[in-house]
């Protein structure tokens, strides 16, 4: 395509390009301009002097990566929590989709779907409020339930080692229903003929589920999982901060890269260091997404993102 025809293309349909303009500007301002700010990671940033005026310090903002094990801890928490979330949510969602598919009573299926999808629409602040209400206070509500089961009550906000599992449970509550609907949509698209043939051969419903539905569902499951793994370095700030907040007792197991960056910036005012960690995360995340996409592409061209 020559430069001239290209220009003529714009000249012929100026409106098409005009339509794209506001969106392009928004993306430029809120996504591309901050990329320029990455320079802060290499500067001793001072708000008054601005990004350009602040002195260069080379890689000294990155030094703490090696001098403390802080980064290692938040990195480990980020990856570990994300793996737990992915595994638990996917397993529950697949199970829910398979079992919902077995239910033939319309009203029950529809009601159940509505109920398990509902938590997905709640903001993390609302969820944080619920968690605090049921686990916090002088006599936590959940402790009352545990006592009636004969289990000793706990002081939840002092038990850091329990929180990865508590957060996972919350994640399942919030996201498994949403994910199961994606799986269920895939399941209902499987051809009826296969099931018909299996029925004629005398297969039970369980056998059909195991030998037909699950194998057919595997591509969808692996693609969603692989895509989720691509984002494994992105801690869910909105979730963790809304639930854990500034509860430093729980940092050892729940502090992720994103909450750490936020605190370094807002509480410690260490912009340079926070930017350095943020840059490290962006680069790692980018490499992972691209690598994962290459993997998906090899596996199934249609499912790759780009």
Partner 1 sequence: MIATKSDRMMTAFSWGFITLFAAFCLIPFLLMVSGSLTDEQILINEGYSLLPKGLNFEAYRILLQSGALLRSYGITLFITATGTVLGLLVSASLAYSIANRRNRLRHAISFYVYFTMLFNGGMVPFYILISNWLKLSDTLAALILPLAVQPFLVFLMVSFFRTVPEELEEAGRIDGAGEVRIFIQLVLPISKPILATVGLFYALIYWNDWFMGILFLSEENKFPLQMILRRMVSNLEAAKNLIPSGAGIALQAPTYQIRMATTLVTIGPIVLLYPVLQRYFVKGLTIGSVKG
**What's the closest the beta carbon of residue 66 comes to partner 1, in angstroms?**
20
Considering beta carbons, is residue 40 or 86 the nearer one to partner 1? 40
Can you say how many angstroms the Cα of residue 203 is from the centroid of all Cα atoms in its chain?
39
* Region of residue 58 (left: phi > 0; alpha: psi -120 to 50; beta: else): left
Interface pick for partner 1 out of 205, 218, 248, 291 (rule CB under 8 A):
205
Per DSSP, the three-state class of 139 is coil
Could you say whether residue 267 binds partner 1 (CB under 8 A)?
A: no
DSSP conformation class of 29: I
Considering beta carbons, is residue 19 or 72 the nearer one to partner 1? 19
- Please give the Cα distance from 187 to 255 (Å, whole number): 37
Interface pick for partner 1 out of 74, 75, 81, 116 (rule CB under 8 A):
116
**CB half-sphere exposure, 191, CA atoms < 13 A:** 4
Contact status, residue 99 vs residue 113, Cβ threshold 8 Å: no
Considering beta carbons, is residue 73 or 304 the nearer one to partner 1? 304
Considering beta carbons, is residue 35 or 161 the nearer one to partner 1? 35
Could you say whether residue 222 binds partner 1 (CB under 8 A)?
A: no
Positions 119 through 138 that interact with partner 1 (CB under 8 A): 119, 121-126, 128-130, 132-134, 137-138
Positions 19 through 48 that interact with partner 1 (CB under 8 A): 19-20, 22-24, 26-27, 29-38, 40, 47
Could you say whether residue 13 binds partner 1 (CB under 8 A)?
A: yes
Contact status, residue 131 vs residue 142, Cβ threshold 8 Å: no
Contact status, residue 95 vs residue 159, Cβ threshold 8 Å: no
Could you say whether residue 1 binds partner 1 (CB under 8 A)?
A: yes
- What mask, x for binding partner 1 by CB under 8 A, covers residues 137 to 166? xxxxx-xx----------------------
Interface pick for partner 1 out of 76, 246, 268, 300 (rule CB under 8 A):
246
Question: Which residue bears the tokens 């690598």?
Answer: 291
Label residues 20-41 b or e (16+ Cβ within 10 Å = b). Answer: eeeeeeeeeeeeeeeeeeeebb
Residues in binding contact with partner 1, number by CB under 8 A: 101
> Per the structure block, which two tokens stand in for 276?
């350095």
Positions 49 through 108 that interact with partner 1 (CB under 8 A): 50-51, 92, 95-96, 99-100, 102-103, 108
- Residue 219, Cβ neighbours under 10 Å: how many? 14
Considering beta carbons, is residue 201 or 302 the nearer one to partner 1? 302
Considering beta carbons, is residue 143 or 255 the nearer one to partner 1? 143
- H or E element: which one contains 158? none
Stretch that binds partner 1, among 66-74, 76-84, 157-165, 286-294 (CB under 8 A): 286-294
End-to-end Cα spacing for the chain: 23
**What's the closest the beta carbon of residue 187 comes to partner 1, in angstroms?**
12
Considering beta carbons, is residue 76 or 205 the nearer one to partner 1? 205
Residues in the chain: 306
């Amino acid at each position: 395509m020559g430069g001239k025809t290209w220009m003529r293309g714009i000249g012929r349909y100026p409106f098409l390009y005009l339509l794209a303009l506001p969106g392009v500007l928004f993306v430029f301002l809120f996504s591309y301009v901050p990329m320029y700010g990455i320079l802060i990671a290499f500067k001793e940033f001072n708000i008054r002097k601005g990004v350009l005026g602040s002195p260069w310090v080379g890689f000294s903002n990155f030094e703490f990566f090696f001098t403390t094990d802080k980064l290692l801890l938040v990195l480990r928490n980020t990856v570990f929590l994300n793996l737990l979330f992915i595994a638990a949510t996917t397993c529950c969602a697949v199970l829910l989709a398979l079992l919902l598919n077995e239910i033939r009573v319309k009203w029950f299926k529809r009601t159940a779907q509505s109920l398990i999808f509902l938590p997905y629409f709640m903001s993390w602040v609302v969820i944080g409020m619920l968690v605090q209400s049921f686990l916090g206070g002088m006599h936590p509500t959940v402790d009352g339930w545990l006592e009636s089961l004969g289990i000793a009550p706990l002081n939840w906000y002092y038990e850091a080692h329990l929180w990865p599992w508590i957060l996972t449970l919350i994640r399942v509550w919030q996201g498994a229903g949403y994910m199961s609907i994606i799986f269920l949509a895939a399941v209902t698209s499987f051809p009826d003929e296969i099931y018909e043939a299996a029925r004629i051969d005398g297969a039970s419903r369980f056998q059909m589920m195991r030998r037909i539905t699950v194998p057919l569902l595997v591509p969808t499951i692996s693609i969603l999982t692989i895509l989720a793994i691509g984002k494994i370095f992105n801690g869910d700030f909105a979730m963790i901060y809304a639930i854990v907040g500034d509860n430093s007792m729980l940092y050892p197991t729940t502090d992720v890269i994103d909450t750490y960056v936020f605190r370094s910036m807002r509480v410690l005012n260490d912009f340079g260091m926070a930017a350095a960690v943020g840059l490290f995360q962006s680069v790692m995340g980018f490499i992972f997404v691209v690598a994962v996409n290459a993997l998906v592409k090899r596996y199934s061209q249609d499912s790759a993102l780009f």
